[in-house]
Amino acid sequence: MWDYTEKVKEHFFNPRNTGVLEEANGVGDVGSIQCGDALRLMLKVEPETEIILDAKFQTFGCGSAIASSSALTELVKGKTLDEALTISNQDIAAYLDGLPPEKMHCSVMGREALQAAIANYRGEEWKDDHEEGELICKCYAIDSALIESVVRENSLTTLEQVTHYTKAGGACASCHEKIEEVLQRTLAAQCSAPAVKPAEKPEPAPAAASAEKPKLTNLQRMRKIEEIIESVRPMLQRDHGDIEIVDIVGKNIYVNLKGACMGCALEAATLGSIQQKLFEDLGEYVRLLPASQLEMAH
Amino acid sequence: MTPIYLDNNATTACDPAVVAAMLPFFTEQFGNASSIHSFGNQVGLAIKAARSQIQALLGAEHDSEIIFTSGGTESDNTAILSALKAQPDRKTIITTKVEHPAVLAFCDRLEKEGYVVHKLGVDGRGRLDLDEYRSLLNDRVAIVSVMWANNETGTIFPVEEMAEIAHARGIQFHTDAVQAVGKIPIDLKRSKIDMLSLSGHKLHGPKGIGVLYLRRGTRYRALFHGGQQERGRRPGTENSTGIIGLGKASELVMQHFSTENQEVRYLRDKLEKGILAQVPRAFPTGDLNNRLPNTSSIAFEFVEGEGILLLLNKLGIAASSGSACTSGSLEPSHVMRAMGIPYTAAHGTIRFSLSRYNTLEEVERVIEAVPPIITQLRKISPYWNEATNSPAAQAFAPAYA
Ligand SMILES: Cc1ncc(COP(=O)(O)O)c(C=O)c1O
């Protein structure tokens, strides 16, 4: 099961300050739809000094949700409201000697309950503004909601940029595929399929070069095709797409178009312009076809 | 305090007789089954024997219909992918919302690659609607994949009937029988099932070994390519110890078939009734009249599963939860959600899954242990009113993030 610290286990098995606080004058009810956890925090605040005299909680949730709630009540007791408001979710997690990344949201829920209870005491309306998404990077506890907003705000387009801005994917790297999915999803709205620009002008071929081109061996030809495809990949990748060769059968080159290019109205156009480049560089007529047609051919 | 293991749908203890059957093939007969020298000349025979033990367990017509794989996940993936590759003009898959991730996650991936996936829904008891099923069959469907029994609730699906229906329409039918094998009677030669997955570690065999049953004549494309092992349908040097262990486990599971259906069922029923008699606001989930004899899934309302498991674990009792918080994902079980179980109950679902190794004393200990744990957790649940021992009068409705 989870790798809980001794402190978490201790607060789960013997939670402090549980139950209903009859004299509460500030109550915060919050929940996380993601995990289905819910927490009611009850505070007894001394009006003159705004000191939290007592705190109790009731929690519906997993072991770490209960432990986080218990830790929260211990942390706030004796503090003034303003002092209490400086407690961050990291403070709650640190009090417990850390939480597994999947469970960091339990500490976030604790902090929100505190804000809600204080708002309730002050007669203010509390609105939760944080969004929760699927946990993507377990090493740094980064969820999809954070990645999406950072991508939008900073116009990020590559995995490397996401790692640079959020740290997501920067350690064990096993979430790279998921990050790419979030990236694609976020950018899908502006589906700018990569029209392959004639990037660098090809070296002007010496006159009649193609006529003199020595005939390539099969292997040389395959290598050459690979080389050409490799050379257009960075362009596609810049637009969140990619291409890979699946098979070469005579004049037919079967490829997989991936990412933003796939299924786009511009898929055909993309293939068309890569095919053009292949003719030119290879000096022979070839057809570039989606790999799905290879299955049909078999 | 000896520990009590009630998590047999997750995995089972390897039978000591299985271990004994495997050992010589680690140390003495370690040779490659394809070699002719004396280090391996018994291996081929032993694999052949294992193959016929499994043939007998499944009631397969030919032993060549048994293909050894690395387990349930590989068999499930292979079956589905094979059907798509072997029939490239058919791009639709029909499955259910309550499959194991070995089918569901793979179908989600295939969907991203452009295939069409229909997931049949279930009713509150986890049952499929066969009319909906019939209405989805057409000649674009490459394969139907429906589990024989559900791993969370034990609910049994009418796969033999569904296979007949698919067969009549010329559609391949696969069933994930990982939980069903050894617990319900299976006689494949009398069915129209084309492919079936089973996994060694669910039947007191070793882990990392499984079978894909492939009916003779079914169009097939291998997942891997390499040597001629398994007639080229699943190349790679045989996991000979695993295969031999699985063969032995299959033989034992056939011998214990009635134990599983009588004694284990009796213990399961006793456990379930014992707990439900003492805990208010708790209910069993799934199709109670049509489920595996060893499985009980109980939803405890207004408490969360992980807390229950941690407290049970402290008492040496191992069970599992369909709840979000133990599985690594935060979502409550897709099976509970498909049955429309409300969040506050879905999160508190505990699965007790027994085996032939459990005893009456163990069951009695668990019946005693569970009620105080639920009381203790409800005491601190905002949805519960301790004074009245019932749900809070004023429904708790938090601001959701
Ligand atoms: C219904 C079902 N299918 C597939 C699997 C996966 O089997 P394996 O662990 O052998 O890959 C399991 C077990 O986890 C299961 O319960």
Check: CB of residue A282 under 8 Å from CB of residue A213. no
Q: Where in chain A is the domain with CATH 3.90.1010.10?
A: 6-121
pLDDT at B323: 56
- Indicate the DSSP class of residue B156: B
E-state strands within chain A = 26-32, 37-46, 51-60, 135-137, 142-143, 241-249, 252-259, 287-290
Q: Which residues of A touch B330 (CB under 8 A)?
A: 34-35, 102, 105, 135
Q: How many residues does chain A have?
A: 298
- Identify the residue with better confidence: B223 or A125: B223
Q: Which of B12, B106, B178 to mutate to test the pocket of ligand 1 (most atoms within 8 A of CB)?
A: B178
- All residues at 6 or more sequence positions from A254 whose CB lies less than 8 Å from its CB, including other chains: A245, A246, A247, A248, A289, A290, A291, A293, A294
Q: Other C-beta atoms within 10 Å of B14: how many?
A: 19
User: Which residues of chain A does CATH 1.10.10.1100 include?
Assistant: 135-192
A241-261 average pLDDT score: 80
Q: H or E stretch including B94?
A: strand B92-96
Please check the confidence at residue A181 and state whether its pLDDT lies above 50.
yes
The answer to whether A143 faces chain B, any CB pair under 8 Å, is no
β-pair partners for A288: A253
**Mean of per-residue pLDDT scores for chain B:** 94
| Domain A6-121 class, CATH top level | alpha beta
Phi, psi values for residue B384, rounded to 5°: -120, 145
- What φ, ψ does residue A197 adopt, rounded to 5°? -80, 145
A170 contacts chain B (CB < 8 A): no
* Residue located nearest, by CA, to atom 9 of ligand 1: B72
Average pLDDT on B143-152 reads 97
Interface list for B 337-356 with A (CB within 8 A): 343-344, 346-347
Cβ atoms within 10 Å, residue B67? 21
Residue by residue, DSSP assigns A1-31 as: -----HHHHHHHHS-SSBS--TT-SEEEEEE
Average pLDDT over residues B118-136: 97
Atom of ligand 1 nearest to the CA of B10: 14
Q: Kindly give the number of the ligand 1 atom that is closest to the alpha carbon of B208.
A: 10
- The partner residue sitting opposite B304, judged by closest CB among A15, A30, A62, is A62
> How far is residue A58 from each of residues A49, B132, B261, B328, B390, measured CA to CA in Å?
26, 44, 43, 24, 15
Distance CA B192, CA B170 (A): 11
Which residues of chain B make contact with A20, given a CB cutoff of 8 A?
386
User: pLDDT > 70: what percent of chain A?
Assistant: 83
Q: Is ipTM > 0.90 here? A: no
Rounded to 5 degrees, φ, ψ at A249 are -125, 105
| A197 pLDDT more than 50 | no
| DSSP code, position B63 | G
| pLDDT at residue A209 in the model | 42
**From 3.90.76.10, 1.10.760.10, 3.40.50.720, 1.10.10.1100, which CATH number describes the A135-192 domain?**
1.10.10.1100
Query: B343: nearest CA in chain A?
Result: A36
CA gap B127, B156 in Å, rounded? 8
A139 is catalytic: no
Q: Exposure pattern of A174-194 as b/e (b: 16+ CB <10 Å)? A: ebbebbbebbbebbeeeeebb
What is the pLDDT averaged over residues A264-273?
A: 65
Contact status of A128 with chain B (Cβ, < 8 Å):
yes
Q: What is the pLDDT of residue A1?
A: 60
DSSP state of A213: P
CA B58 to chain centre: 16
* CB proximity list for A179: less than 8 A, separation 6 or greater: A136, A137, A147, A159, A162, A163, A168, A169
Atom 5 in ligand 1: residue holding the nearest Cα: B72
Between CA B248 and CA B256, with CA B253 as vertex, the angle to 5 degrees is 130
Residues β-bridged to residue B122: B128
pLDDT tens column, A34-65: 566 889 999 999 999 999 999 999 999 889 99
Query: How much is the pLDDT for B344?
Result: 84
User: Nearest residue of A to residue B346 by CA position?
Assistant: A36
Among B69, B156, B184, B202, the mutation site with the greatest number of ligand 1 atoms within 8 A of its Cβ is B202
* Residue tagged active-site, from B49, B116, B223, B325: B325
pLDDT-derived band at A261, boundaries 50, 70, 90: low
CB spacing of A38 vs B380 below 8 angstroms: no
* Residues in Cβ contact with A219 at an 8 Å cutoff, skipping those fewer than 6 apart: none
Classify residue B138 as exposed, middle or buried by CB count within 10 Å of its CB (0-12, 13-18, 19+): exposed
Token pair for residue B143?
């394969």
Distance (Å, rounded) from C-alpha B324 to C-alpha B330? 4
C-alpha of A246 from chain center: 29
pLDDT tops 90 at residue A282: no
Using pLDDT thresholds of 50, 70 and 90, give the confidence band for residue A213: low
What CA–CA distances, in Å, run from A200 to A152, A233, A235, A277?
29, 14, 11, 12
- Is the pLDDT assigned to residue B121 strictly greater than 70? yes
**Which residues have CB under 8 Å from A295's CB, separation 6+?**
B85, B88
Rounded average pLDDT over A182-206? 59
pLDDT at A153: 83
pLDDT band at A92 (very low <50, low <70, confident <90, very high): very high
Residue in chain A lying closest to B395 (CA) = A29
Residue B401 has what pLDDT? 47
Look at residue B276 and tell me whether its pLDDT is greater than 90.
yes
Tokens coding A123:
């007669």
Residues 103-132 of B with CB under 8 A from A: 114
Nearest to A1 among B88, B326, B379 (CB): B326
Average pLDDT for B300-328? 84
Task: Give the residue from chain B lying closest to A138, CA to CA.
Answer: B328
Q: Are B73 and B102 in contact (CB under 8 A)?
A: yes
Residue A130 near chain B (CB below 8 Å): yes
pLDDT at A16: 97
B325 counts as catalytic: yes
Lowest pLDDT segment from A76-85, B25-34, B141-150, B219-228: B25-34
> What are the structure tokens assigned to A125, written together?
């309306």
Chain B residue numbers with beta carbons less than 8 Å from the beta carbon of A34 are 330-331, 401
d(CA A135, CA B324): 13
Pairwise CA distance, residues B303 & B346, whole Å: 9
Cα–Cα distance for residue pair B45/B25, rounded to 1 Å: 12
Q: Which of A142, A215, A199 is nearest to A175 (CA)?
A: A142
Q: Give the one of B328, B381, B399 whose C-beta lies nearest to A60's C-beta.
A: B381
A185–chain B Cβ distance below 8 A for any pair? no
CB < 8 Å to A141, chain B? none
Residue A178 dihedral angles phi and psi, to the nearest 5°: -65, -40
Partner-chain residue, chosen from B88, B381, B383, that has the shortest CB–CB distance to A295: B88
- At position B382, the amino acid (one-letter code) is P
Output the pTM of the full model: 0.80
Distance CA A70, CA A75 (A): 9
Contact A128 B401 (CB under 8 A): yes
Cβ < 6 A, ligand 1 pocket: B 71-73, 76, 100, 102, 147, 151, 176, 178-179, 199, 210
Angle at which helices A159-166 and A176-188 cross, to 10°: 100
Is residue B151 within 8 A of residue B179, CB to CB? The reply is yes
Give the range among A120-124, A163-167, B162-166 with minimum mean pLDDT.
Answer: A163-167
pLDDT of residue A129: 66
> Is the confidence at residue A207, as pLDDT, over 50?
no
Q: Quickly count: other Cβ atoms within 10 Å of residue B16's Cβ.
A: 9
Give the mutation candidate from B311, B325, B329, B383 for the A interface (greatest A CB count, under 10 A): B325
Predicted confidence at residue B37, as pLDDT, reads 82
Q: Are residues B398 and A29, on separate chains, in Cβ contact within 8 Å?
A: yes
**Span(s) in chain A for CATH 3.30.300.130:** 218-297
Hey, is B297 helix, strand or coil? strand
Residue B299 three-state SS: strand
Q: CA triplet B256, B29, B61: central angle to 5 degrees?
A: 45
**Given this model, what pLDDT does residue A190 score?**
55
| Residue that is written with structure tokens 């679902």 in the block | B349
Whole-number Å distance, alpha carbon B64 to ligand 1 midpoint, is: 23
Q: Which residue is associated with the tokens 């089973």?
A: B198
pLDDT value of residue A55: 97
Pocket test for ligand 1, best of B8, B11, B73 (most atoms within 8 A of CB): B73
**pLDDT at A195 (0 to 100):** 41
Neighbours of B27 (CB within 10 A): 7
Q: Is A254 on the interface with B (CB under 8 A)?
A: no
Nearest alpha carbon, ligand 1 atom 7: B72
What is the tens place of the pLDDT at every residue in A100-144? 887 888 888 899 899 999 999 999 988 776 677 888 988 888 889
**Residue A289, pLDDT score:** 81
What is the per-residue pLDDT for A50? Answer: 96
- Quick check: B302 contacting A, CB < 8 Å? yes
Nearest to A60 among B85, B303, B332 (CB): B303
User: How many beta-carbon pairs below 8 A join chains A and B?
Assistant: 119
* pLDDT score at A6: 96
Structure tokens at B105: 């996650």
**Which is nearest to B117 in space by CA: B145, B95, B132, B100?**
B95
Least confident of A36-40, A58-62, A67-71, B24-28: A36-40
Domain spanning A218-297: CATH 3.30.300.130:
yes
Q: Is the pLDDT of residue B76 over 80?
A: yes
User: Quick check: B4 contacting A, CB < 8 Å?
Assistant: no
Q: Which atom of ligand 1 is nearest to the CA of B207?
A: 10
Residue type, position B240, single letter = S
* pLDDT tens digits, B328-360: 555 678 999 999 998 889 889 999 999 999 999
Mean of pLDDT values over A267-285: 76
Res A206: pLDDT: 46
In a 10 Å sphere around its CB, with 0-12 CB exposed, 13-18 middle and 19+ buried, how is residue B217 labelled? exposed
When pLDDT is cut at 50, 70 and 90, the band that residue A249 belongs to is: confident
Tell me what the pLDDT averaged over chain A comes to: 82
Q: What is the pLDDT of residue A211?
A: 44
Q: What is the mean pLDDT of residues B268-274?
A: 98
Is pLDDT at A192 greater than 60 in this prediction? Answer: no
